[in-house]
Amino acid sequence: MKEQTYISVNRLLLYRDFERQQLLDRLCSIVNGYERAAEHPVEREKMIGELYACAHELLELAAGHGFEGNLWHHFLTYLLANHENAFSMACEIVGEIQGSLNQAADHDFEIFMQLYRVDFDLVEQSLGVRCFAEIGDFENVDSDRKLFNRRIRDRIGDLTVKLANAGTVQEFHRHLVSFYKDFGVGKFGLHKAFSVRNINGDVHIVPITNVSHIHFDDLVGYELQKKKLRENTDAFVQGKKANNCLLFGDAGTGKSSSVKALLNEYYDRGLRMIEVYKHQFQDLPRIIAQLKNRNYYFIIYMDDLSFEEFEVEYKYLKAVIEGSLEKKPDNVLIYATSNRGHLVREKFSDKEGRRDDLHASDTVQEKLSLVSRFGVTIFFVAPDKKEFQNIVDILAQRSQLPIDRETLLEEANKWELSHGGLSGRTAQQFINYLLGQQ
């Protein structure tokens, strides 16, 4: 019987401490110890149980990411594509690099090539089980269902085939360098949007796997606003000077949708988006510190931004935008949406002055200064009746609703009176209602 090569992932230099390190260690332990375990009934049963448990984890990984074919190979590629280390991050920026890091990487690639060559048929024959048959040639669920990100699946799948068929370390090396340069490495390379979590005092930027697929063509009207927003973002992803941007105005007019549309339009040019909430503003310096040396353009996105009189989080934001000693990196901008033009709530008492406030004008300026730090401000106003009806008409045509225009507009007028008034959001909700009735 053919023998497996003993593999020690403990000897890896750069590619260590993977997100799924435990699963890798367990599978390698099976590959290295199945022959000895097969000779001892108790050990054999333990190893069979462990083999099935690992197969379960690989199946869950495949279901979540849409992997097909050899799931062991996809798992290895997934580890390599997501691992941020000195070599992979340097290749992300410049492609092929010079120096000793190449030798360290090639040392690790030799070990990974051994991992790609592992034959689990030998493991199962020795243990007398058959659970990895599906793992070696897996067929996933209907690819049209939105259970996973197909773009990530396809990129990992293409790289898997190349790495599994690489005949030399040099070929393996070239494929990975090309992948890092073209698509990036880790979560920023594979995902579009992110949220922020504070776990045990540490700030983590976490991928959002289910992103809204909104495009500018989906937004009816507001052509001047969309043009201004795109021009600023276009300059940003070209590495030119660009401004922080505030989208403000009436509710339901497409401010948030416009920002989301940017992500889908400029993702392939390196744009990434990180959503941050008010209570996380104190973490902004630590968030930005994780972004400044990456080969991407990051928009820190703040939706529905406003502050009450007693809230002071806006002071953290002011300092980050323009005011702290450390310069904000050129690859980071802040985009915010708000229903308030001045963001911070103002009262007549601010302008009239209070007896206990000797410098009332300073209070007003303190609150207005935040808006002035956004170089681009874009106003979204609610549509009038005619514009609202035009939005409804266009959305109905796109949805191919079988209803005459006169009836459509008559029902739309009734709908907006009891559902939030004239806005693009109300129009879309009305169309959704009609579609739901079919």
User: In the 3-class helix/strand/coil scheme, how is 33-96 assigned residue by residue?
Assistant: HHHHHHCCHHHHHHHHHHHHHHHHHHHHHHHHHCCCECHHHHHHHHHHHHCCCHHHHHHHHHCC
Using CA atoms, how far residue 433 sits from 6, 256, 399, 413, 429, in Å, is 62, 21, 12, 14, 6
pLDDT at 419: 83
pLDDT at 347: 54
Strand order in the sheet with 297-302: 202-208, 193-199, 271-275, 297-302, 332-338, 245-249, 376-380
C-alpha–C-alpha distance, residues 344 and 311, integer Å:
9
- pTM of the predicted protein model: 0.78
Mean pLDDT by runs of 10 across the 438 residues of the chain is 71 94 93 87 91 93 87 95 94 90 96 93 88 80 58 89 96 96 87 90 87 85 92 95 91 89 90 92 90 90 77 70 69 88 53 49 56 85 87 87 86 85 86 85
Sorted by sequence, the CB contacts under 8 Å of residue 37 that are 6+ apart come out as 43, 44, 46, 47, 127
pLDDT at 157: 92
pLDDT at 295: 85
pLDDT at 134: 76
Burial 370-396 (b: 16+ CB within 10 A, else e): bbebbebbbbbebbeeebbbbbbbebb
